[in-house]
Amino acid sequence: MPISQNIVGPEVRRIRCKHGWTQEQLAARCTIRGFDLSRGTLSKIEAQLRCVTDEELLMLSEALEVRLVELFPSRTKSGKKS
C-alpha cells in the first residue's frame, strides 16, 4: 500500500460530501477565495496522493466552512482513529 501524502484527505472528502458539493464545486469555491485548485488536484488531496501545505489547509477549511481542526481525523483517548 502506498504511503499517504496527507492525513486530511478523507476528512476533506467527508465534509465536501456532507455539504452535497462535487469536487468541481469545492474547487470553484477555493478558486473564488484565491486558492487556484483544480478538480484533479482536489481528487489527489482526497485520495491522499498529494501533500497539502499549511496555507492550503487554511484555504480548504475556509472553503469548506469548517474550523481547521475539523480537517484532521479524530482520535479516541487510546490514540486509535475513531
pLDDT digit string, tens, across residues 21-75: 999 999 999 999 999 999 999 999 999 999 999 999 999 999 999 999 999 998 6
Q: What is the pTM of this model?
A: 0.85
51 to 7, 20, 79: CA distances (angstroms): 9, 24, 23
CATH (one of 3.40.50.620, 3.40.50.300, 3.30.360.10, 1.10.260.40) for 9-66: 1.10.260.40
pLDDT value, residue 14: 97
Domain limits, the chain? 9-66
37-47 pLDDT, tens digit per residue, is: 999 999 999 99
Residues ≥6 apart with Cβ < 8 Å to 13 = 46
